[in-house]
Every structure is written in structure tokens, then in C-alpha cells.
Structure 1
Amino acid sequence: MPIARAARRATVRLGAVVLAGTLLAACGGPSDEASDSAGGKVTITVDLFGSFGYKEAGLYAEYEKLNPGVTIKQTDTEDEADYWKSLQTRLAGGGGLADVQGIEVGRIASVTQQQADRFEDLRKYGADELKSQFAEAKWAAATAGNGAVLGLGTDVGPEAMCYRSDLLRQAGLPTDREELATKWSTWDGYLELGKKYKEKAPAKSAWIDSVGSLYSIMIGQEKERYYDASGKLIWETNPALKTAWDTSVEAARSGLSAKLDQWSPQWNQAFAAGSFATIPCPAWMLGYIKGQAGDAGKGKWDIAALPGGAGNWGGSYLAVPKAAKNKKEAYELVKWLTAPEQQAKLFQKQGNFPSSTGAIEQVADATDLYFNGAPIGRIFGEAAKAAPVQVLGVHDQNVAQQITNALSEVERKGTAPDKAWSNARKGVANTIG
């Protein structure tokens, strides 16, 4: 899922983009509402999933102020799988599309390899001039074989471990972020500490939210996950994936999980309730934790380096469908939202780590009082530098979903791991053929 993200930014600044000329009158989007063309007014529709944070960080309001006559209307779907399914239906029909559509990193290969004819080549509007502002891997992933640039990167998902220091203290465990990083420098160490937590844990509190999140964060540490560099599907034989599976199974069988589906209402409530003490957190998770735990969680949460080394989980793109009604205006908004200055603001306010090389240096020294003053700029900056450049495949997201579904069976139903693995194989076959 996405959701989306965190960052630091450099000294490169892009001035606010002011729309020139008369703006188009019509607007596109899931609502199909007409925009007011009087006086050069335009409504730019944006359709997203999860929490990109633009509205919350005040970026839409800032853009509208800088561009009189422009109104931004956002729709969003919490679950990325539901969002993607709806987007596919609308792309096939050609109607109901927004001017700007979000694309999760696990889907971008599908866009560049199978749906390039459904999205605008942003080079048409001058996007090729922006290449040097983005991390090379981020830019390359949204570039089709013919060179078409089909999206601009929003954020990346360098990984760390978020934890409730008050709960660890109650269980007699250390709470210092550096000490914890040493004790759980490996995933075996992380599970061992979890077993100690279980012995003296506060009532109704588990070590981790779900084994699905454990799996996702571990597989995010690998260069090759579901496909190899040649495009071959390798998930069944990938030893790194099997290690992530086995570790997740052990966590489930050791009773370390709160058995919560990520993004469910129960999971949301658990952040404030103290239902789990640790959660693997890509940078974009910080804003989500703040939103769910609320003011009462300030100072209770902290962040430490991730077990097993650096990794990446998530990150997204903003794209303009060919069926969009306000293509040029949509591009100008996308360009502005993904510029270094805005990516830096988004990290500082929401935790979304930038994909813009110009933004990363700007936030290198950032700290977060909510997370007990954690040096988030350093923690996530170091993770971003060390994270592998991942091989992306057409069906990454589909395969990942089937594996996490199978792990949920082990976690909740007590399904034998071999049986659950077989179910994952069947699920992948049924989903992608």
C-alpha cells in the first residue's frame, strides 16, 4: 500500500509555477463535475490512495493562492488495491479519470510496460528538464522503453523501526534508540527481544502489529524480490523471500503479533490503544502514526534504525492520463508538488521522504518532537542512501498481496506454513496467470 512517505531536501529551489495563459474550462476526475470557466477558472482533479499528505500539509491551499482561478479537488481511496482496481476499470473505459492519478511504486512497471498508451508522456510539457532533480532509480522506474516519462516521483520509503518507549519501559526493556538498534541489529535479535517483551508486556499489547508488515519491511531490503533483472518471475525460488517468509512465520507462531490487518479500522485504533509496541515504519508512516495516535502519543513514540540493514518500502508517482481534461494544468501542478521545495515541506510536516535529490539535503538535520526528538533526517537519510535499487516487476503488488494473505492465514487461523505457501502459489497463479 502506499501510502506515502518522508524526506530531506537540498538547497535547490524551484520557484512556484504560475500557470500562464487562459486555463482550460473543463475538469476531469471520478466525479465528472464541470469546472467554472468564467474568468479563466479551472478545477484540477487529483485522485490518490492512502495518505499523500498534500492537503494536510497545506500544499493545495498554497498552490491555489499562487495561481488565482485554480481549484484543486482531491478524491482518495484508503486501500491501494481498491484504488488500483477502480483505476483499471476507468482506464479501460476512458471515462471518470482525474487530471492527476497517483501510481504506487509496485504498479509503476505495469504502467511503463503495459499501459504507456494510457498516460501522457510528460516530456511533451518539458519534464525531461527535471531529470537531474530526481534520484536516478526513481526517474528510471517511470520511464517507458521508448523514453516516455509517464510520472514524476513523489517520495521514497526508507525504512526504520518505530516503537512505543513507554510500553518497552513497562516490560523492562531498554528504550534508548541507539541501544535498541544494537540489540535488534538482526531480525533474529528483533524476535528475541520480542519474546522478552511478551513475557512482561502490558495487558493486550503485542510486539508487532502483524506479520504482514514484518514480511513487507524485510522484503523491502532486497534488490530482487519477485522478478529478476531480466523480467523473469522468481519469487518462488528467491532465498531472500523465503527468509522473510520463515521469519514472519516464526513471529506468528511465537505469538508476537497483534494480528491486525494494516489500514483496517482496528489497526488504526491500535496506534492510540497501545496494542503493539513496535512497527516497521517506512518514512511515510510517521504522518500516519501521528494522525492515528493523536496528541496523546506525542513523546511516547520513538524511532530506531531497522534490523538487518536498510531497505525501501513504498513510494509513489503522479501521472496524467491521456483522458484527462486539463493536461497542461495537471502537469504544472504535478511539477510543483514534486519540486524539491514542496517535497521538503511535505517531509517536515508529514514525514514523506523525498525522491528529489534537491530536497534531501534540506532535511538532513530534521528532528521530530512527536517521536521524542528523533533525528529523522539522519535516520531516514542514511537508510535511503544504503537502500538497494530494487528490481520492479509488472505484478509486484499482486504477488506481495497473495503472500501477505497467506501469512495472515498462519497468523490468524493457525494454517500450517506449507499449506499457506501452497495457497499463496495458487493465489498468484489465479491473479496473474
Structure 2
Amino acid sequence: MGTARRRLGSTLAAVTSVAVSLVLVAGCSSGSDADKARTEDGKTVITMGLFGVMGIKETDLLDRYMKENPDIVVKADVAGDEQSYYTALQTHLTAGSGLKDIQGIEIGRAKELVDTRADAFADLSKDGDLTHFLPWKSSQVTTKDGKLLGLGTDIGPMAVCYRKDLFEQAGLPTDREEVAKLWAGDWSKYVDAGRDFKANSKDKKVAFMDSASGLFNAMIYGGDKQFYDKDGKLVYRDNPVVTDAWKLSVDAARSGLTARLRQFQPGWDPGLANGTFATAVCPAWMLAHISEKAGPANKGKWDVAKAPKGANWGGSFLGVMESSPVKKEAEKLVAWLTAPEQQAYIFEKLGNFPSSKKAIDTPEVSSGTSPYFSDAPIGQIFGDAAKEIPDEQILGRKDGSIKDTFSAGLQLVEQGKNPDEAWKTTDERIEKLTR
């Protein structure tokens, strides 16, 4: 989600605005005032900083927890844009103030925090039974000396979300199993299906896919490494997983198959509601966002089909700040929120796929369907995809920022820039941010 989980002019202005506003908040909540703010009407107050749709504030979980623990009050703030959220989090970490007791961590930021900010987080390695998590999930936020910075919430096995009505207008099959056969085993077949859609669609204003960057992300996260190798060396220039994804995404963009949008950026949400595009590569955590932004009018028009290849895009963690005056209470809350039962519950309500092996095996998950997405058996679809996720995904310090930079580079292509020039610009930006 990662989450949600996920998101350079207009965005920079938004990031700056959020960061500045949160710095102001930080200035008002440091020192002894922060300690005083941790109690309210005699109850202990736990604060949370979240992003996207992590399923914690969007469900009744916090209400349930407070009912079961009447001496606790939980206050959660949610930033819709993860990029802005992370910029603010970095500001607070540098200032040493303004941090929530619990902070969400997106997978693309995990390695950077492990390498540079591990001292700011409490060690959760001894918080109860952690064997229910997928082993590779916890390893993504574990330091070399065994410190665990967060507990896993969701993972991002991928599928393709598509509009049945728009497929029908273009003469393509609408049954999800037949749709999956169009591109089984090869992302280039997905692009070929897009060519057929474009040639036969009755509405020439409707694009086949939302963005070239969505396709790019789907392809790169099917490998065990993307931008870095195990030694922390940048390898994206020579990694065929990255170069092949760039080439196919550029092909889709230059063939007019995309709506020239970036997921979670301006224009994308209205595109979901107005049928601007017929497909979107969708990790499990994205279903909640699509159903919310596409709205009730489009319920039953969307469906979910198996992706060409298994991959994991996104996923999140909850970490507790070492400086929190209510650290023990916060650790207890994080352990409860990420327990199998709560992960299965979030999946039932929103579709965020569990990082808990135990939760994945429950009937609530394995037999789960989505009424919004035409009763698609999302538990089975995403469960099968999860089994295809590589046992190891090598993360690097600037993974999230590099992904965002590639997304911006592909948007340059969608806007008409020469692909070689767009690659050069992307490469220069990555070199600058990784110095």
C-alpha cells in the first residue's frame, strides 16, 4: 500500500507545503508539552502518522481497540500522498520533534530508514510471535544487527483491474478468465491487447491503460532486484528487468495506449470516475482507492484479472518511535493492528492483502470476493499472485525516489519527449539523488 500506498513542479509545491505545515506543528509539540499532550481526560493518547489507504483509520479497528482498552485514546492522521508524507517524516526525523508515536513506513523507503534512521525507531523484534509474517516481509525492515524497525501491514501482489463495459465496446472478452488469457505469461501481450483495444474501441478518447509508469512498476517488481544489487550498488542501467520494462512502457506510451497520467497524481482520480482509461495495473492495496475514487456509479463495471506475471509492488509497515513517551503502549497497538486477525479483517473490508501467512490462509482471505469489482475472487487472484512473488526482493536506499524518478521520466515520453532524451534526463536525476 502500501501502501497506498504510494506518489516534480506541482508535486514539489505540495510537498513543501505539507512539510512546512508539519514543521509548524512540530514546533508546538516538543519538549514537556509533548508529554502533557499524551494524556486526555485521564487516558493515554497514542498518535499515528499514516498515508494512503492503509485500512487502519478507514475501518473501525481503532474504535474497537479503544473499546477493548478504555484507558487508551488513539489519534491517527492520514496523508493522501505518500511522497508528501515521507518528506514531512524526514523533516521531523532531522529536527527530532513533531513525530507521531507510530509512523507508517512504505516499502520503497524502508531501506533508507534502515540504513540512516534505525536509531529513531524502537526495536520490535521481541514484540510477541512474529513467525506469522512472511519471512521476506520482516527482513525488509531489519538492520544487520537484527533490529526490527516495523511490523508488516500489507503486501502488494498484482493483478490488472479493467472496465468490462469498455472492453465490450472494443470487442474484447469481458470474462476475467478469458481476459487473463489475453496476456498470460508476458507483459508484451498486455500491450498487444492494448493495440487491439485502440483499433476497435468505439470511443477513441478512451485509453487502454492509465499510465506507462504503472506498466513499468508491474514489470520491474517481478524480479528479485530492480535498482540495486545485494552490495548496495546501483545496477538499473544494466539490469534487463529495468531496461526491458522501460522499452515496453515507452512503446505503450508512443503507441498512444496510455491516458498519459501518473497514478495518485492530479487527473488520475477523475480518470477512474469518468472512464478515461480501461485498465490499470493494480496491486491489492489499490482496490480500495479505485473503488473510492471511481465511486458508486461504477460499481460492477470494474473487474479484476490475473496479471501476466507475479510481482509485488508496495506494502507497508508500522514503526514505533524510540522517543515516544508512550512507547510500550504504542508497541502493543502496533502488534494488535498487524496481528493475523486484523490483517484478515482489513482485507475483508478494503482488499489490502495480508503480509501474515496465517491471515492469508484464513477462509476470510482465501475465499474473499469484491462486490465492487463484480464479485471478483480477489482472495484467490491475489493469493495466487503472492505465491509467484520472488522469495527475496533486494531493496536499496533510494528505491522509492528512483521509482518516482522513472515515473516522471516516462511521463516525459507520454508528453512527447524523445525516449533517449527522457532516459538521459532520468539517469541524470537518479545520479543526483543518489550521490
TM-score norm. by structure 1 comes to 0.90
Q: Secondary structure at the match of 1:98?
A: coil
Aligned equivalents of 2:73 and 2:208: distance in 1? 45
Is contact 1:30-1:97 (8 Å) kept?
no
Equivalences for residues 318-337 of structure 1 within 5 A: 318-337=318-337
2:232 matched to 1:231?
Answer: yes
Q: Which amino acid aligns with 1:401?
A: D
Aligned residues: 406
- In 2: Cα distance, 1:220 partner to 1:163 partner: 20
Contact 2:212 2:258 in 1 (8 A): yes
Is the 2:38–2:46 Cα contact (8 Å) retained in structure 1?
Answer: no
SS at match of 2:261: coil
Is the CA contact 2:198–2:204 (under 8 Å) kept in the aligned structure 1?
Answer: no
The residue correspondences of 1:212-227 to structure 2 (distance < 5 A) are 212-227=213-228
Structural mapping, 1:344-423, within 5 Å: 344-362=344-362, 363-388=365-390, 389-412=392-415, 414-423=416-425
What do the CA deviations read for 1:24-64 (whole angstroms, capped 9, x no partner)?
xxxx9897375363664022111012111212121111111
Task: Give the alignment partner of residue 44 of structure 2, picking from 42, 45, 70.
Answer: 42
Conserved? CA contact 2:107–2:317, under 8 Å: yes
CA distance, structure 2, for counterparts of residue 396 and residue 263 of structure 1: 18
> Is 1:151 the equivalent of 2:154?
no
1:179-194 matches, within 5 Å, as: 179-185=178-184, 186-194=186-194
Structure 2: which 5+ residue stretches go unaligned?
6-24
Question: Is this contact kept in 2: 1:159–1:380, CA < 8 A?
Answer: yes
Give the Cα–Cα distance (whole angstroms) in 2 for the partners of residues 77 and 226 of structure 1: 27
Larger RCO (CA under 8 A, 6+ residues apart): 1
Partner of 1:316: 316
- Alpha-carbon deviations, 1:178-206, whole Å to 9, x = none? 11111111222111111111123225311
Query: Any residues of structure 2 matched to 1:26-65 within 5 Å, and which?
Result: 32=29, 34-35=36-37, 37=39, 40-65=42-67
Residues 38 and 244 (structure 1 numbering): CA distance in 2 closer, same or farther, change over 3 Å? Answer: closer
Q: Distance in 1 between matches of 2:28 and 2:318?
A: 19
Q: 2:123 aligns with which of 118, 121, 124?
A: 121
Q: Distance in 1 between matches of 2:48 and 2:343?
A: 17
Alignment-derived partner of residue 19 in structure 2: none
Secondary structure of the 1:313 match is: strand
Deviation at 1:421, TM superposition (A): 0.7
| One-letter amino acid matched to 1:409 | L
In the TM superposition, residue 333 of structure 1 has moved relative to its aligned partner by 1.0
Shift of the alpha carbon at 1:231? Answer: 2.0
Q: Please list the CA deviations of residues 56-114 of structure 1 after superposition, one character each: whole Å capped at 9, or x if unmatched.
A: 12111111111113221111222222211111111111100000001111111112222
Q: Is 1:303 equivalent to 2:307 in the alignment?
A: no
Once the two structures are TM-superposed, the CA of residue 176 in structure 1 deviates from its matched residue by: 1.0
CA distance in 1, matches of 2:38, 2:421: 57
C-alpha distance in structure 2 between counterparts of 1:36 and 1:352, whole Å: 30
| CA distance in structure 2 between the partners assigned to 1:141 and 1:266 by the alignment | 32
Query: Aligned partners of 1:246 and 1:130: how far apart in 2?
Result: 44
Change (3 A) 1:220 1:38: closer
| CA distance in structure 2 between the aligned counterparts of 1:239 and 1:37, rounded to whole angstroms | 54
Q: Please state whether the residue corresponding to 2:318 is helix, strand or coil.
A: strand
For 1:370 and 1:37, the matched residues in 2 are separated by: 40
Q: Given that residues 402 and 428 in structure 1 are in contact (C-alpha distance below 8 angstroms), is that contact kept between their aligned partners in structure 2?
A: yes
Query: Which amino acid counterpart does residue 361 of structure 1 have in structure 2?
Result: D
Aligned partners of 1:55 and 1:61 also within 8 Å: no
Shift of 1:387: 0.8
Cα distance, 1:31–1:380 mapped onto 2, change above 3 Å = farther
Tell me, in whole angstroms, the C-alpha distance in 1 between the residues paired with 2:27 and 2:313. 28
User: What value does the CA root-mean-square deviation take over the aligned residues?
Assistant: 1.7
CA distance in structure 1 between the partners assigned to 2:28 and 2:353 by the alignment: 30
Per-residue CA distance 1:192-235 (angstroms, 9 max, x = gap): 11111112322531101111111111111111101112222111
SS in 1 for 2:48: strand
| SS of residue in 1 equivalent to 2:405 | helix
In the alignment, structure 1 segments of 5+ residues that lack a partner are 6-27
| Deviation for aligned residue 1:172 | 1.2
Are the aligned partners of 2:156 and 2:314 in contact in 1 as well (CA < 8 Å)?
Answer: yes
CA contact (8 A) 1:4 1:156 kept: no
How many Å separate the matches in 2 of 1:311 and 1:31? 43
The residue correspondences of 1:66-215 to structure 2 (distance < 5 A) are 66-123=68-125, 126-127=126-127, 129-185=128-184, 186-201=186-201, 202-215=203-216
Contact 1:162/1:302 (<8 A) preserved: yes
Distance 1:360 1:2, change over 3 A: closer
Q: Secondary structure at the match of 2:267?
A: helix
Deviations 1:215-264 (A, max 9, x none): 11111111110111222211111011000000100000000011112212
Match for 1:395: what amino acid? K
Identity within the alignment, %: 46
Distance verdict in 2 for CA 1:295–1:29, change over 3 Å:
farther
8 Å contact kept, 2:2–2:155 = no
Structure 1 stretch displaced more, 341-350 or 64-73: 64-73
Question: What TM-score does the superposition give when structure 2 sets the normalisation length?
Answer: 0.90
Matches within 5 A, 1:230-249: 230-249=231-250
